[in-house]
Structures are given as structure tokens and as C-alpha cells.
A = this chain, B = another copy of it.
Amino acid sequence: MNITLAQAETAVQAAKAKATELGTLMNIAIVDAGANLTAFAHMDGAWLGSIDISQKKARTARYFDMPTGEIGKLSQPGGSLYNIEHSNGGLITFPGGIPIKNTEGEIIGAIGVSGSTVENDHIVAQAGVDAFG
């Protein structure tokens, strides 16, 4: 199973609405089950450097089927996955990337959000995920 463009666009719109509600400017990326980019939106004035980060967060979340922040807990100095970020052409392991599941619980893609604090990034990403209710 793979996320459709219609589903991805719904997730992007939900994330944008949440970003606006929080007064933030976000970059929002959706990848499919194969970690390939499916949809992307850069809100006007959002950080340019977050264009790449949002995509890397989405891919990282699908690469390991967990929220990016969970990986970051293990990739710290002394942690079991220290410097895992050097793999796969660059990972981002702080919060803002979350896998997307279908109603059967199968992972069909992931969302990555970047543009504010990592707390806000995660909240906006979750809003995108919740659009699959």
C-alpha cells in the first residue's frame, strides 16, 4: 500500500492549517512507502534551509518507521546510534518527522515538517498525520 497524492495533499493542507493556527511558517514534505517525495509545500517566508530538512525528516521517519525524535534520543554522543545521521545521504533525527499509517495500521508513507521549534514542527506533523482519521 502506498499513500496517494490526494491523501498527501490532504495531509499538507491539514499541516498548513495547524501551522497558521500556531503562527508559524513551515515547510511540509510527504514521502510514500518507498521514501520517494510525493507532495511538498513551502509556506511564504518559511526558512529556506528547512526545505531540505523537512524532506530529510520525512524520509528518516519512513526509513526507520518511527518518529524522527525517537532516533535522535539514540544518536547522541555515547548513544547506541551515535552519528547515524551520516547514513542515507544525511538524516535528520530531531522531532518533526512521523510515519503515516492507513486504517489497517500499515505504513504508507511519512510526513516531515520544519520551520519553527522542534516542538511546533512535531505538532504540525502530527496534524498532518491526524488527517488520516
Q: Which A residues are closer than 8 A to B by beta carbons?
A: 2, 4-5, 9, 32-44, 47-53, 56, 59-60, 62-65, 72, 75-78, 80-95, 117-118
Kindly report how many copies of this chain are found in the complex they form together. Answer: 4
With A33-B34, A77-B76 known as contacts, the answer to whether A92 contacts B84 (CB < 8 A) is yes
User: Which of B34, B87, B118 has a CB less than 8 Å from the CB of A36?
Assistant: B34
Whether B48 lies near A63 (C-beta < 8 A) is yes
Whether A36 lies near B35 (C-beta < 8 A) is yes
Q: Which chain B residue shows the least CB distance to A62?
A: B48
With A40-B37, A76-B82, A81-B118 known as contacts, the answer to whether A52 contacts B87 (CB < 8 A) is yes
Whether B5 lies near A44 (C-beta < 8 A) is yes
Whole-angstrom CA separation of A35 from B39 in the bound complex: 18
